[in-house]
Structure 1
């Protein structure tokens, strides 16, 4: 429920002004009520309530507004809905959730709004209007309203009563007030109401009513029993109940009195007057949490805010659960008679004509069952889900399937056993026995599931007269509603009569009983236009419903059923609808709560309620039995473990059930327990490691929860002596003598101070036969001289240094040297090494260049020395190990990235070769043509493929431990031959030197390579019939390098075929760039080698047409997308332009010029095409034509600095320095960066002046 405190103002008889004098002894109330501020509220009629920082006020015109504490109106609640008047004289408000209830004495009703949005939601209580039209229960000048746990309490002032409604206005009943004493003594007790004008409830469910007829505030318990009246304050006009007491305003003295919940006056404050904190005309009183008290003053049109001293609050668990409420859920326009429900939440309804069954789910008809030639009068569903009906036409009981087909039937017309005269109701118990009620035969007959007659509850000696409905409780007892007797007869599962319910001293509690529903804890009877709820013993619990014709009333009901949980369905003939209600239950007190001690925890158990509407349970805990309970947790199960508690501490618990509408029931009786301490388990095993001077104990870690450490003991006689306490799972005992036996005991210690059993272990120190400082070589790898720089960071092995003495060693220096190949030893330092302790070190090596001079594999001695100082003297220990140093051509294939060492694009012979080839093809920018030129040049130079006779690649590559021999590219040049891996390294180095990206390809038993063309792959995966390879979104060309000496086209075709043959059969790709990150290209001695005889003419002579073939293939790949664009649109300017640029880069200048000319024909002012024409003329040494092209471009795009730079360059070629300078100055003016970017050109022009 929203924390809202309600103000009320009501008429009262005038009392003497000096009636407050009796309070003088309480002292000055202003010491306990601090005035904070005045809030202006023009035209204030009455302060109705407060919620948070919003004040709810009524104005003189009858308007209802929400006002902030700054006096500004934030919301106005509508006084009309269309033409219908909602508000005339708002008197009081109450809020639950987001629903605002406004009681209005003018329209004599309660109006509902959304509190947050002011949307009108409905009304109730007025005659023939609203959600629930009134009858004899209609309100008359109501002035007070309160809401608690779904029940709306309305002070029905002129009817001198309190009326109770459901959360959205379903009429329940009148609040029955009673005297706590016998009738004879009750005359002196003012428990009856005369003129109730205001009502409120406190935190434990007590009801406070301001009765203006008696000028008293009367207090009742939740059942209506009168408890007391608060002391008189004169003429009480307003009432508000806070979390710590009750505030009452006196109209005569204009004084506010605060009472505690015992009814004792706490203090008073306020007075009559015009000054600040005085009141001219009290008009409402409201209290918010935190002792914020608001007092309305209609005389001054202000709301005064006070901060009061806090009083004692009641224990929250002392609250008595509120009564069950009812909520109207909706009406469904379905005409039906008898209702039944299945176990899945669906409702079965017999249609108005009795010809069919309607299956409803969530208010909608989801199926219709039409049995053939029947007149249905009753229906039920058994435990297995089978449908049973009574057929009035043939006087029989029938089992149907979902399609309406008859599965079985029994019975016939008559009055004998197994016969029916007027069957009206049936029910099936959990054992499958069928009971049929017959109104004309005045009996209830019992049958087996197969229709065999068993017994008759009627007959001459039976009390049954006119059975109208049947129902079972969870124990199997049969409840029979007898319409003539106006009672319910209860029979045991064996047919024995138990009791009759609904009659008190020959007076029936029923008027027109029609239907019956029995739940786990209640019996619901549909009696005329009301639903009455009883216990299974016949005690009346509640009543709801009226005969009016509002959407939530039940004027002419014919059937009722519960669909499980809180849902209740009533079929109404007059409204031609089925009406759904929800009973907002307040669960009964949880029973048999028990608490059981566990380790640092307490386990709770309680009885699970049989009712279906209990959704979950709230657990409350306290450190004291008397109070201080706070909510700990919520659970859906009937058990809970409260973990993480302090050991040896006592805790107290209570549990409350919560309904499916989130209402909490009665709190359970208390249960208590003490959480146990944790007692650790003993260690399963203790391991030992020994040296001559030390014993090290170790064990598996114990459960870390509650672990405080481990204790180590030795036993001296019968006494355990603690040696130490540790948190880690090991313990070392140092300074021992060699060859001595020792016994130790280890236990586990908990945070609770408890200790496990001690586990014993026996160990003997070793014989001392090892060096004090021991050097152990763990790993020492062979050295590949071509990767010698790698060992500076990665190291070539590791060693372990161990202190075998009983004393710690400090500042240990460990050096490593490989004579002849290292100028200086590398060193490691160990700050401290305890007795028996070891430390592993990485052996790094910084080699000199002489290691590259190794021509044969050699075994070399490595010297390791560890030294430290003892008593001022240096103590050193040495260890000699042998390692193989391989010559620079060696590698093993265990790490295939080692191959990257042999790809040396910056080696001078490789660079010289590449420059010679590129120089012959200086106009070519296409990667494929340059790669073809280099490949063909190698053929001209005489390089050939020769398989390695000793370790061919196909053998060595499969044996990762075999040391293979690979040539460096410069050596392949010198020898003019190499096997497949030599040629791949050589060709890859050459292409990488050109800036062409390469990858090494490995297939089973062979190596080849591929390079990037720089051409982006198309989205459709075009690869020219597998001639290209699509890799990393680019087109790549595989090359079979062993075909060197053949044409490049042949090597390309063979490489592509090999790639696709092994693509999914073992092909791997090695990125030499990634390999270089670890295995740098080898550093080789300087070389003056330069190639000779590699002219373009010689290449074209040996491989005629090869370069042109590559040009055609490459141009096709590069131009494909643009040629496709031209097919769609021949006048596509951009496609023509891009084709010209591509052909220019490929070196086909004539074709490029055609495309540029085409662009200009399409767009005569295309500066880009004009500029590109100039570029082609420059390449072909046609400088005058270039100048003309650039001039044309500059006229079209005069602000393009690049065009002017190109024009300046063209003028320099013809010696026209003056024009060159003018063009260059023009470019600088347009873009100052030109001066820096083209510094050499600028100097050339200036020097020529």
Structure 2
């Protein structure tokens, strides 16, 4: 018997690995909720001569229930009829039969859709009846006795379809009686066949492959091309899915595909499991390609939500179509003011070229001691006015009505479009001005107040040096230790930069008592969420206007601003009338390009105190700025001798030596420049390293013209 069963057991074990070796677990894939079937066996006794005198036939029915999650294991319910026909030659008839019922357990391993191997074991209570025997005291009652029977059988099954299975079953049986007739006790061996019907739905049928997930709600509002980058990591809509099967859906992954505007499906979610009847809401994200920026107006689209998941070991793909509207690159809704940052396109070559042109024509007018950011802000403001840019309220959707409306669709012109149209609403002009400043590396911000939006920019001046921007400290915004200036860009073309600055600050300061009603959004921060629209390279054919008119306006703005800064400082110097106040005023005037005012101030300081070293040093620096290098050399030579004799401070001596070195360098006296540079370096090597070209004997070219034009002033 062991020899007969060993090959069967080995085949059964090996089949387990085979059935699960592929990508699909066939036991789970073709699982079923319950089955009903019958068995027929012919048996022979193998453990006693008495058993060999019987022909044994077994007919039974069974119900089979696969365990959830382990469908290869089944619980059995068995009931049947076992007939023993006597074949002995003693002229006696010992034929009898059994009626039995009991539980069992089965194991199945599916090799393919059509073939499976398995084994079953059952143990049942049986009642036997001997038809030719009656009780002595009651000739009407057939003799019977109680038994325990068991069976172990193998199954070699062929499945013509999902629902029907037939099999050949080698079987080992066992019987033990509790009565007086014990000839049936022992083992039997035989073979038979069986058939069963399996309830459930064929997973290979068309109906079963598309309905595991129900798309209950797909909320996909109108989408906007300008928000392309935002949709990659943030909610574009939402989706509710429900598992409508009786089985758990595993490893659900969802994606969205929009043909023509996506290079591949955009992942939405992954590694989700849904129990039967369970629902889940999932945010929908999307990765559009740059083709969305080429759309015009409103484009109706039909996309697909793609669901991939595993159910009962089978991998399934399910698709669901959805329609929505895609608005072009100019459209948005104002549910978040930071969205305007998406229209600040600092990488647009057309705008960058225009900004470069503006810088080029002002190159000779730039003041080295004045914030370069502030100077370019003035230049750009005037240049835009010169080409005819004007503020014009959008008649269909003005910002005053659209701000904060998360339903109505507004539009913003891209900077290149405003440059061509020459008109724009406050939002159009704000993103244009911010873009021009951002193209040359100036940090900007979007400032919003109820019904309005305008620009602010970082001057790059530390808050501690506010006097060099606005001495009264009443027209600046201090953010993170830097001075920012607001500009009312709608005044472009009809007012000066100073007036636009003043108006911008007034609008900002009006809400100082209610700051929660205004917004200040740095462009760089906002663009982390709303990245700028991607544009194709193009030549706008812009006419840059009259260069002389632009530079003249800049000079006037710079002069007006300089007077605004210097006026309170001059009043202070006249009031205090001491060397220090006149020296401070002179330094400010020199840095702002008011050289006559500066010279007068330094000389007044030395008249009041002839030994005031700082004013003398600054007078030499002023001569250097005006190109009077010989006069500078003579004055510094005298001052250095005086400073060394009077044991002036290291800081003062450092400035004198470095300025003298620069003067010698300007006079092509490289050896002398090296000597004075070495003296300065000994006093402050860290600060001197930026000017190491001075000690090279002319072998190293200076880093930049700006470095050569700057000399040190002393405000002490």
Please list the CA deviations of residues 1019-1061 of structure 1 after superposition, one character each: whole Å capped at 9, or x if unmatched.
9xx9999984666699876544333222315545655666677
Please list the CA deviations of residues 419-454 of structure 1 after superposition, one character each: whole Å capped at 9, or x if unmatched.
xxxxxxxxxxxxxxxxxxxxxxxxxxxxxxxxxxxx
Q: Secondary structure at the match of 1:1071?
A: strand
Q: Counterpart of 1:1131?
A: 578
Please list the CA deviations of residues 205-234 of structure 1 after superposition, one character each: whole Å capped at 9, or x if unmatched.
xxxxxxxxxxxxxxxxxxxxxxxxxxxxxx
TM-superposed CA distance for 1:942, in Å, is 2.1
Change in Cα spacing, 1:802 to 1:1166, as seen in structure 2 (3 Å) is farther
Change in Cα spacing, 1:1026 to 1:1232, as seen in structure 2 (3 Å) is closer
Q: Give the whole-Å Cα distance in 2 for the aligned partners of 1:1088 and 1:1172.
A: 49
Among 573, 578, 588, which residue is 1:1142 paired with? 588
Q: Counterpart of 2:43?
A: none
TM-superposed CA distance for 1:1155, in Å, is 2.9
Q: Give the whole-Å Cα distance in 2 for the aligned partners of 1:1234 and 1:1057.
A: 40
Q: Is the 8 A contact 2:258 2:304 kept in 1?
A: yes
Change in Cα spacing, 1:1248 to 1:945, as seen in structure 2 (3 Å) is closer
Question: Is 1:1042 paired with 2:493?
Answer: no
Gapped regions of structure 2 (runs ≥ 5): 1-32, 34-207, 703-716
Gapped regions of structure 1 (runs ≥ 5): 1-692, 694-767
Question: Is 1:793 paired with 2:236?
Answer: no
Change in Cα spacing, 1:1090 to 1:770, as seen in structure 2 (3 Å) is closer
**Between 1189-1198 and 1077-1086, the greater mean CA deviation after superposition:** 1189-1198
Q: Counterpart of 2:565?
A: 1114
TM-superposed CA distance for 1:833, in Å, is 2.8
Q: Secondary structure at the match of 2:320?
A: strand
Q: Secondary structure at the match of 1:1211?
A: helix
Among 212, 218, 224, which residue is 1:784 paired with? 224
Among 233, 237, 261, which residue is 1:821 paired with? 261
TM-score by length of 2: 0.56
Please list the CA deviations of residues 235-254 of structure 1 after superposition, one character each: whole Å capped at 9, or x if unmatched.
xxxxxxxxxxxxxxxxxxxx
Change in Cα spacing, 1:1184 to 1:1104, as seen in structure 2 (3 Å) is closer
Among 365, 370, 383, which residue is 1:921 paired with? 365
Question: Is 1:771 paired with 2:211?
Answer: yes
TM-superposed CA distance for 1:1113, in Å, is 1.9
Q: Give the whole-Å Cα distance in 2 for the aligned partners of 1:853 and 1:1116.
A: 53
Describe how 1:195-210 pairs up with structure 2 within 5 A.
none
Question: Is 1:1222 paired with 2:662?
Answer: no
Question: Is 1:889 paired with 2:340?
Answer: no
Q: Secondary structure at the match of 2:264?
A: coil
Q: Counterpart of 1:875?
A: 316
Q: Give the whole-Å Cα distance in 1 for the aligned partners of 2:244 and 2:281.
A: 15
Q: Is the 8 A contact 1:775 1:800 kept in 2?
A: yes
Q: Counterpart of 1:1068?
A: 518
Q: Give the whole-Å Cα distance in 2 for the aligned partners of 1:1247 and 1:1017.
A: 35
Please list the CA deviations of residues 1059-1079 of structure 1 after superposition, one character each: whole Å capped at 9, or x if unmatched.
677877996333234533422
Q: Counterpart of 1:977?
A: 423
Q: Is the 8 A contact 1:821 1:848 kept in 2?
A: yes
Paired residues, what number?
A: 476
Please list the CA deviations of residues 1117-1169 of structure 1 after superposition, one character each: whole Å capped at 9, or x if unmatched.
6x37xx43752x32151x33332332233222222233334444556565654
Among 931, 934, 937, which residue is 2:380 paired with? 934
Q: Secondary structure at the match of 1:1245?
A: coil
Q: Give the whole-Å Cα distance in 1 for the aligned partners of 2:304 and 2:347.
A: 36
Q: Is the 8 A contact 1:1002 1:1068 kept in 2?
A: yes
Q: Counterpart of 1:1208?
A: 661
Q: Give the whole-Å Cα distance in 2 for the aligned partners of 1:1248 and 1:1028.
A: 41
Change in Cα spacing, 1:1202 to 1:784, as seen in structure 2 (3 Å) is farther
Q: Is the 8 A contact 1:921 1:1096 kept in 2?
A: no
Max radius of gyration: which structure? 1
Q: Counterpart of 1:900?
A: 341
Q: Is the 8 A contact 1:897 1:1070 kept in 2?
A: no
Q: Is the 8 A contact 2:361 2:551 kept in 1?
A: no
Q: Counterpart of 2:622?
A: 1176
Change in Cα spacing, 1:779 to 1:1155, as seen in structure 2 (3 Å) is farther
Q: Counterpart of 1:950?
A: 396
TM-superposed CA distance for 1:1192, in Å, is 5.1
Q: Could you say what the CA RMSD is over the residues aligned between the two structures, in angstroms? A: 4.3
Q: Counterpart of 1:843?
A: 284
Q: Is the 8 A contact 1:933 1:1107 kept in 2?
A: no
Q: Give the whole-Å Cα distance in 2 for the aligned partners of 1:1025 and 1:1168.
A: 26
Question: Is 1:1084 paired with 2:535?
Answer: yes
Q: Is the 8 A contact 1:1028 1:1035 kept in 2?
A: no
TM-superposed CA distance for 1:922, in Å, is 0.8
Please list the CA deviations of residues 873-895 of structure 1 after superposition, one character each: whole Å capped at 9, or x if unmatched.
42111112223322222221111
Q: Secondary structure at the match of 2:234?
A: coil
Among 809, 834, 839, which residue is 2:249 paired with? 809
Higher helix share: 2
Q: Is the 8 A contact 1:967 1:982 kept in 2?
A: yes
Q: Secondary structure at the match of 1:1238?
A: helix
Q: Secondary structure at the match of 1:1110?
A: helix
Please list the CA deviations of residues 928-982 of structure 1 after superposition, one character each: whole Å capped at 9, or x if unmatched.
6654443222222222223334323333336432211112223322332222221
Change in Cα spacing, 1:814 to 1:1006, as seen in structure 2 (3 Å) is closer
TM-superposed CA distance for 1:1210, in Å, is 2.7
Q: Is the 8 A contact 1:1167 1:1194 kept in 2?
A: no
Q: Secondary structure at the match of 1:1112?
A: helix
TM-score by length of 1: 0.34
Change in Cα spacing, 1:809 to 1:959, as seen in structure 2 (3 Å) is closer
Among 592, 596, 600, which residue is 1:1154 paired with? 600
Q: Secondary structure at the match of 1:877?
A: strand
Q: Secondary structure at the match of 1:791?
A: helix
Q: Counterpart of 2:93?
A: none
Q: Is the 8 A contact 2:602 2:616 kept in 1?
A: yes
Q: Give the whole-Å Cα distance in 1 for the aligned partners of 2:465 and 2:367.
A: 27
Q: Counterpart of 1:860?
A: 301
TM-superposed CA distance for 1:897, in Å, is 1.2
Q: Give the whole-Å Cα distance in 2 for the aligned partners of 1:1072 and 1:984.
A: 13
TM-superposed CA distance for 1:1095, in Å, is 6.8
Change in Cα spacing, 1:808 to 1:922, as seen in structure 2 (3 Å) is same
Q: Give the whole-Å Cα distance in 2 for the aligned partners of 1:1232 and 1:1104.
A: 38
